[in-house]
């Protein structure tokens, strides 16, 4: 795989930052090969020049020379030295070299050789293995090289200089870095002579003007790690919310708790009745006055920070903390959830409720495709949104908020203005998702087990009980599925507590039992019952003996405890999980119970831990770690040294464990009583088949060659993003060539990637740009090299739709094959989603005035071609999904999409932008389109060339579409035609001016007022949003009175498209008349639109 330059630099960057001792291999060869070609990438140090890529034909079994006077970083050189001592590699037998096509002569095998950053022998072994399987690392010019892939910024001169050769031999192909990407995308060896792939052969003087691009890039780095099983319980019954005017009953100890023996007043103030709001105030004051570590993580803040003000008490959280302040100096940084009061009550009418709900859906979506991190981002963003007391309307506004970046800001704006988020359209749940959710509800079952079972065909609990391999816990989990998923009324929790407490008391009066968890936070219902068991002065060891030898047996004997699920066994064990039920009632439900053994000196930490909630814990623990400390259930630790990847190197020294309050204090967190620690939770609905969207949307079948360990797959329109656990075994992706219906494969060998948290499993995120709709290959035939593309052959004589030969496992998915008829001519799909911008247009927007300074203009002028445009080309490939969606549809006789057969619903439709230009009527004045479009129904043709104009005519002209003309006549002037001639090229714009008179002659006079010539102001974003992507193509839009795009067409009209346009116009006219009759719409258009804008949900 070849990645974008920016990604390459990101990797280089990561190398550079390695500690000295960490050997890392710089030469990362990423590459794909076909028919014996091999591409190996040569790395160069940051800042000196761009990387070059070398393609070698050399499939040799010998290792290339690894040493050399490469201009690589010190770190790398060192590592190379080390590696020299190693034994020569033993190449795997050819049949096992993963880079060979093997069974599939046409398969494209792809090597992804990422720098290894681990010096462990095992890791190094893996690298060696990779090389044994065919990886070749070329660092210098050698014979047998067939291709050189160079970054576009490099010139010919640069390359030969770098390679220390006089010239590049004729038989060596020189292409830019886009070439291999496209080859992989198209699965074809593309004609390298296409201008698109040319490397600048220019004179050296040009080189000087070329500055190396910034190492920073917008390319999103993805990472996935172990999936979580969040919010497992199904929350039958009301969610956790303490009673509003609670008398702090949640703080009560279990009845009969003896409190005398405690030396410190710790208990009484913190978990006893006395913890009233007075105590809270005191605690807060105390915290404020006491010397504490600053809240902010900002170094400079540590000096200037004021003591934190507990803004909860006066509810003054309204102010929006500005990002600038936040990241700047001297600002407070209260972005930790634990710094604020969370009582579980949302504001009565949260102005951002709809936004929050929609973002929550997105979060759910990411959760269920097992993206570990985005849900965290969403959770944080939602939390800040909750705090706002006014509605966040615009992206600008939104991105000022902490944890809301540009992408979430965009989404927020879209939600506000359209009451809808398009990204969610493809994320609906299906039956297998429901099943997954059901199985996940089983205690002891997570994503891994649930998906496995589903893929094995199990559908019911009966299936599982009868046939599946179950652990003891899982069996119990199934048998008591309903019980365990039912929340427990607070009163019953108390009864359970009474039993445990009295039993404990009878064993040893010194024993203390406290109900923790949601109960301590004052919840009305609890998912389980959490007991903390302590005894003043007792060690865990002592407690454990009491628990295991006396308390537990006694509780079993009373028929209270029913089963143990996770039982403390080791010497340092501290927990006992099981199930209980109230004795005496036969049908009493089983309840989950947890016991936590806590020695006195760990009381405070344990209280914090076991009180939760989980989000609060994570927040306060993160805060601790940001201060160089560590908080866990045993205590607060300082001087914790963390190594690379934040791995803990030392456990640190204990600061405090006994006092809850003191720990808050040391952390600089105002004390929060338990009922104020209910931080935002997230919900989710799981899905079973993570790549299912891909199947539907793209026809790409993804199969797993064993053992891929795919931990998350996201489909964005027609791309796959997948995160693959890095292992030595390749993942194979299957495609279908739509022309031939032949299955073909890419195999990706991933050697190493980023570390995941907490264990050193590595995950590697595949570049999304690599997996494109195979149709793309068909759409861009103009750049295919026919001599090579036709050489693919069917694998092993299989019929096109047969399963790949090596597919053995039942859960491998189905065979590729999606088109019924491979020779069917490709037609673009009908528009599947509304086009347009999320915000209503206003006159005065997009006038396109250049605001750059002169210096900027000069710089842009000099750099433009070499710099911006090329970068754009690269980044566009991996930018927003919407864009990618369009680029894939670009070709096909200019038709970008088929019209939508039915109008887009008004509440889903998006807006046509305001454009600014002159009209044929008044060529010397600037005119906005919006006033012309508003408050009437418009058929807008937009085009950039006469060719395109003619295409648009096929939809709207009287000759081509007489029915439309008829409909226009009948409409009594409610429907108007508008033409927009776009010419952004300054020269050609001049030509248009020249031709104006002739155009004026050509166009009937009554249309002059609505024939616009637009010369600037149409940004990429606008083009993308309205699908106006190809200057050679004409587009037609049907707008309603609010300038919403209800229908759109492109290219030459097809019969059914003309019909749908006519139908659409008639419908809109009907709609219009009906509203007129209802008197709903009155006169002034601007006001109407404005009013709608202000209340989009209305």
Ligand X SMILES: O=c1ccn([C@H]2C[C@H](O)[C@@H](COP(=O)(O)OP(=O)(O)OP(=O)(O)O)O2)c(=O)[nH]1
Partner DNA sequence: TCGCAGACGGG
Partner DNA sequence: CCCGTC
Partner DNA sequence: GCGA
Residues 726-785 that bind DNA (CB under 7 A): 754-755, 757-759, 761
**Interface pick for DNA out of 311, 407, 890, 950 (rule CB under 7 A):** 407
| Residues 6 or more apart whose Cβ sits within 8 Å of residue 582 | 492, 495, 496, 499, 560, 588
Identify whether 252 is a catalytic site residue. no
Annotate 97-133 with b (16+ C-beta within 10 A) or e (fewer): bbbbbbebebbbbbbbbbbbbbeeeebbebbbbbbbb
C-alpha 838: how far from chain center: 21
Active-site hit among 38, 411, 535, 721: 411
Among residues 142 and 473, whose Cβ is nearest to Mg ion?
A: 473
- Binding residues for Mg ion restricted to 509-528, rule: CB under 5 A: 517-518, 528
Residues 381, 408 contacting (CB under 8 angstroms): yes
Distance CA 156, CA 277 (A): 75
Residue located via tokens 């014979």: 143
Residue 594: name the closest of 523, 542, 519 by CA.
519
Among residues 250 and 321, whose Cβ is nearest to Mg ion?
A: 250
C-alpha 91: how far from chain center: 39
Tell me which residue has its CB nearest to ligand X. 612
**Ramachandran angles phi, psi of 633, nearest 5°:** -70, -5
Q: Does 372 bind ligand X (CB under 6 A)?
A: no
Among residues 580 and 918, whose Cβ is nearest to Mg ion?
A: 580
**Interface pick for DNA out of 78, 232, 391, 1067 (rule CB under 7 A):** 232
C-alpha 450: how far from chain center: 23
**Interface pick for ligand X out of 104, 447, 458, 610 (rule CB under 6 A):** 610
What is the token pair recorded at 866?
């070499």
State the burial class of residue 396 (Cβ atoms within 10 Å of its Cβ: 0-12, 13-18, 19+): exposed
Among residues 672 and 870, whose Cβ is nearest to ligand X?
A: 672
Give the one entry of Mg ion, ligand X, DNA, none that residue 577 binds, where binding means its C-beta sits below a cut-off of 5 to 8 angstroms depending on kind. DNA
- Binding residues for ligand X restricted to 228-247, rule: CB under 6 A: 233, 240
- DSSP class of residue 374 equals H
Q: Does 367 bind ligand X (CB under 6 A)?
A: no
- Binding residues for ligand X restricted to 523-562, rule: CB under 6 A: 523, 526-528, 530
- Binding residues for DNA restricted to 322-381, rule: CB under 7 A: 323, 326-327, 333, 373-374, 376-378, 380-381
The contact mask relative to DNA for 108-137 (x = CB under 7 A, - = no) is ---------x--------------------
Distance CA 224, CA 100 (A): 29
Q: Does 698 bind DNA (CB under 7 A)?
A: no
Among residues 519 and 764, whose Cβ is nearest to ligand X?
A: 519
CB of 812 to DNA, least distance (A): 17
The edge-to-edge listing of strands for the beta sheet with 635-638 is 630-632, 635-638, 653-656
Count of residues making up the chain: 1098
Residues 309, 288 contacting (CB under 8 angstroms): yes
Q: Does 375 bind ligand X (CB under 6 A)?
A: no
Segment (H or E) for 74: helix 74-84
Q: Does 437 bind DNA (CB under 7 A)?
A: no
Region near DNA per CB under 7 A, out of 252-260, 300-308, 404-412, 501-509: 404-412
| Residues 6 or more apart whose Cβ sits within 8 Å of residue 859 | none
Region near DNA per CB under 7 A, out of 54-62, 139-147, 618-626, 983-991: 618-626
Residues 154, 47 contacting (CB under 8 angstroms): no
Among residues 326 and 685, whose Cβ is nearest to ligand X?
A: 685
Strands (E), 347-500: 488-489
Among residues 380 and 839, whose Cβ is nearest to DNA?
A: 380
Among residues 490 and 1052, whose Cβ is nearest to ligand X?
A: 490
For the chain, the straight-line distance linking the first and the last C-alpha, in angstroms and rounded, comes to 49
Q: Does 613 bind ligand X (CB under 6 A)?
A: yes
Distance CA 544, CA 838 (A): 61
CB of 1061 to Mg ion, least distance (A): 60
CB of 508 to ligand X, least distance (A): 25
| Cis check: omega of the bond before 707, within 30 degrees of 0 | yes
Distance CA 112, CA 28 (A): 8
Among residues 30 and 530, whose Cβ is nearest to ligand X?
A: 530
**Ramachandran angles phi, psi of 858, nearest 5°:** -65, -50
Residue 182: name the closest of 789, 717, 816 by CA.
789
Give the one entry of ligand X, DNA, Mg ion, none that residue 613 binds, where binding means its C-beta sits below a cut-off of 5 to 8 angstroms depending on kind. ligand X
C-alpha 654: how far from chain center: 38
What is the token pair recorded at 651?
């456990």
Residue 712: name the closest of 376, 224, 222, 112 by CA.
224
Q: Specify the 3-state DSSP secondary structure of 529.
A: strand
Count of residues interacting with DNA (CB under 7 A) = 93
Region near ligand X per CB under 6 A, out of 117-125, 271-279, 298-306, 608-616: 608-616
- DSSP class of residue 846 equals T
Q: Does 983 bind ligand X (CB under 6 A)?
A: no
**Interface pick for Mg ion out of 151, 437, 530, 928 (rule CB under 5 A):** 530
Q: Does 649 bind DNA (CB under 7 A)?
A: no
Segment (H or E) for 367: helix 353-368
Distance set, CA 837 to CA 367, 405, 411, 690, 1027 (Å):
28, 20, 12, 30, 11
Residues 145, 172 contacting (CB under 8 angstroms): yes
**Interface pick for ligand X out of 462, 549, 614, 865 (rule CB under 6 A):** 614
Give the one entry of Mg ion, ligand X, DNA, none that residue 92 binds, where binding means its C-beta sits below a cut-off of 5 to 8 angstroms depending on kind. none
Among residues 632 and 819, whose Cβ is nearest to ligand X?
A: 632
Q: Does 576 bind ligand X (CB under 6 A)?
A: no
**Interface pick for DNA out of 78, 391, 505, 575 (rule CB under 7 A):** 575
CB of 1086 to DNA, least distance (A): 33
Q: Does 520 bind DNA (CB under 7 A)?
A: no
Give the one entry of ligand X, DNA, Mg ion, none that residue 1063 binds, where binding means its C-beta sits below a cut-off of 5 to 8 angstroms depending on kind. none
CB of 356 to Mg ion, least distance (A): 25
Q: Does 657 bind Mg ion (CB under 5 A)?
A: no
Give the one entry of DNA, ligand X, Mg ion, none that residue 754 binds, where binding means its C-beta sits below a cut-off of 5 to 8 angstroms depending on kind. DNA
The contact mask relative to ligand X for 510-529 (x = CB under 6 A, - = no) is -------xx----x--xxx-
Q: Does 638 bind DNA (CB under 7 A)?
A: no
| Residues 6 or more apart whose Cβ sits within 8 Å of residue 978 | 929, 932, 933, 938, 939, 940, 941, 1010, 1011, 1012
CB of 124 to DNA, least distance (A): 15
Among residues 78 and 229, whose Cβ is nearest to DNA?
A: 229
Region near ligand X per CB under 6 A, out of 603-611, 806-814, 933-941, 1045-1053: 603-611
Task: Name the region of 296 (left: φ>0; alpha: ψ -120 to 50; beta: rest).
Answer: beta
Q: Which residues of this protein are in contact with Mg ion, per CB under 5 A? A: 517-518, 528, 530
Q: Which residues are catalytic, by number?
A: 411
Q: Which residues of this protein are in contact with ligand X, per CB under 6 A? A: 233, 240, 517-518, 523, 526-528, 530, 609-614, 617
């Amino acid at each position: 795989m070849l990645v974008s330059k920016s990604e390459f630099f990101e990797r280089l960057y990561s190398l550079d930052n390695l500690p000295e001792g960490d050997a890392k291999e710089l030469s990362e060869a990423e590459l794909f090969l076909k028919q014996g070609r091999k591409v190996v990438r040569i790395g160069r140090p940051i800042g000196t020049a761009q990387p070059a890529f070398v393609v070698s034909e050399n499939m040799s079994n010998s290792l290339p020379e690894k040493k050399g006077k490469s201009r690589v970083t010190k770190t790398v050189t060192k590592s190379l030295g080390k590696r020299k001592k190693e034994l020569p590699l033993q190449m795997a037998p050819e049949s096992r070299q993963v880079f060979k096509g093997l069974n599939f002569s046409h398969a494209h095998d792809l090597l992804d050789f990422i720098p290894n950053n681990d010096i462990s022998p095992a890791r190094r072994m893996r690298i060696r293995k990779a090389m044994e399987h065919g990886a070749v690392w070329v660092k210098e010019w050698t014979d047998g090289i067939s291709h050189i892939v160079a970054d576009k910024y490099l010139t010919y001169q640069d390359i030969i200089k770098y390679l220390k050769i006089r010239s590049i031999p004729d038989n060596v192909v020189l292409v830019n870095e886009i070439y291999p990407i496209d080859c992989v995308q198209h699965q074809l060896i593309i004609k390298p002579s296409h201008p698109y792939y040319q490397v600048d052969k220019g004179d050296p003087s040009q080189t000087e003007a070329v500055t190396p691009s910034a190492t920073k890039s917008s390319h999103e780095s993805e990472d996935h790690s172990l999936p979580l099983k969040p919010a497992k319980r199904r929350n039958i019954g009301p969610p956790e919310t303490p009673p509003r005017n609670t008398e702090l009953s949640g703080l009560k100890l279990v009845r009969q708790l003896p409190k005398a023996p405690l030396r410190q007043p710790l208990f009484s103030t913190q978990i006893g009745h006395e913890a009233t709001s007075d105590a809270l105030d005191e605690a807060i004051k105390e915290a404020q006055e006491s010397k504490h570590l600053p809240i902010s993580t900002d170094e400079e803040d540590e000096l200037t920070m004021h003591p934190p003000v507990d803004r909860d008490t006066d509810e003054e959280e309204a102010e929006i903390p500005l990002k600038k302040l936040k990241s700047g100096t001297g600002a407070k940084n209260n972005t930790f959830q634990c710094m604020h009061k969370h009582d579980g009550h949302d504001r009565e009418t949260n102005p951002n409720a709809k936004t929050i709900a929609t973002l929550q859906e997105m979060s759910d979506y990411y959760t269920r495709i097992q993206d570990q991190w985005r849900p965290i981002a969403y959770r944080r963003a939602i939390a800040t949104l909750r705090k706002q007391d006014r509605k966040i309307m615009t992206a600008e506004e939104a991105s000022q908020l902490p944890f809301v970046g540009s992408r979430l800001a965009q989404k927020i704006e879209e939600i506000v203005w359209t009451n809808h988020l398009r990204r969610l359209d493809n994320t609906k749940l299906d039956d297998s998702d429901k099943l997954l959710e059901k199985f996940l509800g089983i205690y002891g079952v997570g994503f891994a087990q649930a998906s496995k079972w589903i893929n094995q065909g199990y559908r019911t609990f009966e299936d599982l009980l009868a046939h599946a391999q179950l652990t003891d816990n899982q069996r119990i989990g199934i048998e008591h599925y309903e019980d365990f998923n039912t929340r427990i009324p607070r009163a019953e929790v108390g009864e359970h507590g009474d039993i445990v407490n009295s039993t404990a008391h009878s064993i040893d009066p010194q024993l203390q039992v406290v109900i923790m968890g949601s109960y301590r936070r004052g919840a009305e219902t609890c998912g389980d019952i959490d007991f903390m068991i302590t005894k003043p002065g007792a060690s865990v060891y002592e407690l454990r003996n009491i628990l295991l030898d006396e308390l537990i047996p006694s509780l079993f004997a009373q028929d209270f405890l029913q089963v143990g699920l996770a039982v403390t066994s080791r010497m340092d064990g501290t927990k006992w999980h099981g199930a209980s039920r109230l004795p005496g009632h036969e049908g009493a439900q089983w309840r989950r119970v947890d016991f936590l053994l806590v020695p006195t000196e760990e009381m405070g930490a344990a209280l914090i831990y076991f009180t939760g909630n989980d989000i609060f814990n994570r927040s306060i623990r993160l805060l601790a770690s940001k201060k160089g400390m560590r908080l866990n259930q045993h205590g607060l630790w300082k001087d914790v040294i963390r190594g690379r990847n934040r791995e803990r190197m030392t456990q640190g020294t204990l600061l405090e464990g006994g006092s809850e309050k003191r720990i808050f204090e040391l952390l600089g967190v105002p004390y929060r009583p338990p009922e104020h620690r209910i931080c935002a939770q997230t919900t989710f609905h799981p899905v079973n088949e993570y790549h299912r969207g891909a199947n539907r949307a793209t026809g790409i079948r993804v199969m797993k060659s064993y053992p891929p360990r795919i931990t998350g797959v996201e489909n964005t329109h027609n791309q796959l993003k997948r995160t693959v656990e890095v292992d030595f075994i390749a993942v194979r992706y299957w495609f279908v060539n739509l022309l031939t219906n032949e299955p073909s494969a890419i195999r990706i060998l991933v050697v190493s990637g980023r570390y995941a948290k907490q264990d050193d499993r590595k995950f590697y995120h595949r570049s999304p740009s690599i997996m494109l709709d195979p149709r793309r290959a068909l759409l861009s035939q103009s750049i295919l090299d026919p001599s090579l593309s036709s050489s693919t052959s069917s694998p092993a004589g299989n019929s096109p739709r047969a399963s790949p030969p090596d597919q053995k496992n039942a859960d491998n998915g189905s065979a590729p094959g999606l088109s019924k008829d491979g020779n069917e001519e490709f037609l673009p799909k009908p528009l599947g989603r509304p086009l347009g911008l999320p915000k209503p247009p206003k006159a005065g927007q997009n006038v396109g005035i250049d605001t750059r300074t002169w210096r900027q203009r000069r710089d842009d002028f000099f750099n433009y071609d070499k710099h911006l445009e090329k970068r754009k080309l690269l980044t566009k490939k991996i930018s927003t999904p919407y864009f990618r969606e369009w680029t894939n549809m670009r070709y096909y006789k200019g038709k970008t999409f088929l019209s939508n057969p039915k109008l887009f619903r008004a509440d889903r439709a998006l807006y046509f932008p305001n454009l600014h230009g002159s009209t044929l009527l008044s060529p010397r004045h600037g005119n906005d389109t919006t006033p012309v479009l508003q408050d009437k129904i418009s058929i807008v043709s937009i085009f950039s060339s006469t060719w395109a104009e003619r295409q648009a005519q096929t939809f709207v002209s009287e000759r081509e579409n007489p029915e439309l003309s008829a409909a226009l006549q009948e409409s009594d002037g409610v429907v108007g035609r508008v033409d927009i001639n776009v010419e952004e090229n300054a020269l050609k714009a001049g030509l248009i001016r020249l031709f104006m008179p002739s155009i004026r002659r050509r166009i009937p006079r009554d249309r002059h007022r609505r024939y616009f010539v637009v010369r600037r102001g149409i940004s990429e974003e606008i083009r993308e949003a309205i699908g106006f992507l190809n200057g050679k193509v004409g587009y037609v839009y049907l707008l309603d009175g609010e300038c919403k795009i209800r229908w759109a067409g492109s290219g030459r009209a097809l019969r059914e498209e003309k019909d749908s346009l006519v139908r659409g116009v008639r419908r809109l006219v009907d709609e219009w008349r009906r509203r007129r009759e209802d008197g709903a719409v009155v006169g002034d258009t601007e006001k109407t639109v404005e009013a709608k804008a202000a209340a989009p949900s209305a």
